[in-house]
Amino acid sequence: MNILIISGVPVLSPASHLVHAKADKYFKKTLVVEFESGTAFTFRDIQVDPIPITHDSCDPVGFVLESHEGRAASVTDFGIVTRLITEKLRGCRFINLESNHDVDMLMSGPYPWELKQRIKSRHGHISNEESLGLLHELAHERLEVLVMAHLSEVNNHPEHVRRSTESFLRDQNICAPHIVIGDQYLASGLMKI
């Protein structure tokens, strides 16, 4: 938090997150832009569309950002692919998409049964297969960058995600975006779209 306060980077937050008792302490020297989930707004020269998603947290959202140069989206931490998510992400040139777990690895892995059920639930995380199912709906000739993100360290493997994503894209013959496999501990390189 101190980095944000010192640098003056604005914080965009759902209004529901700012009612927390400590919010004033952290944000009093920072420009805070409040928004409502599901209601698009403009921030500087970018149209921001916060998409309601299902997850076991307070007012979770994904984002679609649009400028005169095109559209970009980031959707992670969601348990089901809804029609709204699919429609909002159509036509994006850049997509940061959750590919959380391999179902077989999850079910045979070390997590307690209750946690496995939560991860697979409507308020948990989407699997690699569900992510590729959404990508099947979103693939178009102008998709330039695809980041497969929020991979479980225990129930997924980056190379498995890379191979299955590359295979899917090769077979669909619509687009050939640059694929990045997200890493929890390393920043990706800069991507120009």
Domain boundaries, the chain: 1-35, 38-181
Q: For position 118, what pLDDT does the model report?
A: 96
Using 50 as the pLDDT threshold, list the residues of the chain that sit under it: 1-5
CA-closest candidate to residue 31, choices 7, 10, 17: 10
Give the β-pairing of 46-52 and 61-67. Answer: antiparallel
Which CATH fold topology does 38-181 show? Metallo-beta-lactamase; Chain A (3.60.15)
Given this model, what pLDDT does residue 18 score?
A: 67
Spatial separation of the C-alpha atoms in residues 85 and 59, rounded to whole Å? 15
pTM of the model: 0.89
